[in-house]
């Protein structure tokens, strides 16, 4: 089980369950927190993954390769399995995330012409599609029209955590390293912190803070501010970390020999994530953060 998404009220989670160990695809399930019952929301011979419950709690977006390439679909969280296909491109589209008003979906699309992942926004009412910025695994802030995402820093092979407003005017690098990758960023319920997965096997220099830049294609006379610091951080495997959106208060939440990834922050403060820590297979775990300045 992997790919967890927590409902806004913290009462249920959506997750992915593989069929026959992944040999015959995967489906998406809903499960009340603390209960054993599960509701299967998708049934198909292909792969259904990347579930995301809408902020109003009524809809579930996900990605599927049931028609060949990966596309974005929307279904309801209640009874019934009616589905709406949002994207139809021959290029792969994955990792949907909802705007705070549940009217827009941002997702990652692989551009074959540019040979890179890009973030796009789809408006459900009009069907309008907007290309935003190169990046992967976007996550909408629950409080602002702001997205967090991962993308390598200039000249680096390792992904950093970034934010950008949905108009594409100012993008900000929150945390990066020349040696390690930071992936799967997700917002806290108050929009003040980010949780993400990071790791490696060494002590590395990590740059934290806000390195903001205005995109040249959307000019403005107002200059964004930048403030960064560097710290030596020891990594061992992939673990779950948090950082304030201003780049301060870096904290490690998990530490084990397995791999922890794909975190999602519940409204009750608990963080759910996927982990291979027990038998090498993926299962859903949770942790309650205790914040200590790094």
Domains located in the chain, CATH noted:
1-134 (2.120.10.30), 138-285 (no CATH)
CA–CA separation, 133 and 240 (whole Å): 25
| pLDDT at site 292 | 43
| pLDDT at site 201 | 60
- Which tens digit of pLDDT belongs to each residue from 172-212? 999 988 888 899 999 999 999 999 999 766 667 787 776 66
| pLDDT at site 164 | 96
| pLDDT at site 293 | 42
Low-confidence ranges of the chain (pLDDT < 50): 216-223, 292-294
| pLDDT at site 220 | 43
CA–CA separation, 242 and 204 (whole Å): 17
* Length of the chain (residues): 294
């Amino acid at each position: 089980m992997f790919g967890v998404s927590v409902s806004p009220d913290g009462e249920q989670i959506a997750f992915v369950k593989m069929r026959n160990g992944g040999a015959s695809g995967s489906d998406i399930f809903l499960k009340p927190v603390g209960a054993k019952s599960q509701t299967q929301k998708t049934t198909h011979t292909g792969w259904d993954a990347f579930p995301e419950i809408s902020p109003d709690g009524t809809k579930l977006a996900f990605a599927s390769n049931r028609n060949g390439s990966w596309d974005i679909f929307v279904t309801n969280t209640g009874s019934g399995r009616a589905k709406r296909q949002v994207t139809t491109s021959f290029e792969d589209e994955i990792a949907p995330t909802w705007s705070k008003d549940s009217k827009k979906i941002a997702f990652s699309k692989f551009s074959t012409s540019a040979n890179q992942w890009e973030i796009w926004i789809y408006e459900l009412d009009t069907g309008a599609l907007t290309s935003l910025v190169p990046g992967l695994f976007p996550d909408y802030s629950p409080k602002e029209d702001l997205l967090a995402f991962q993308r390598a820093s200039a000249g680096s092979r390792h992904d950093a955590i970034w934010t950008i407003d949905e108009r594409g005017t100012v993008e900000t690098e929150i945390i990066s390293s020349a040696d390690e990758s930071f992936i799967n960023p997700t917002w806290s319920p108050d929009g003040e912190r980010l949780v993400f997965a990071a790791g490696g096997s060494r002590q590395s220099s990590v740059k934290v803070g806000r390195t903001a830049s205005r995109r040249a294609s959307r000019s403005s006379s107002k200059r964004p501010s930048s403030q960064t610091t560097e710290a030596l951080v020891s990594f061992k495997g992939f673990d779950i970390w948090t950082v304030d959106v201003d780049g301060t208060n870096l904290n490690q939440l998990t530490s084990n020999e397995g791999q922890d990834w794909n975190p999602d922050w519940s409204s009750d403060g608990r963080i759910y994530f996927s982990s291979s820590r027990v038998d090498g297979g993926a299962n859903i775990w949770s942790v309650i953060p205790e914040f200590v300045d790094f």
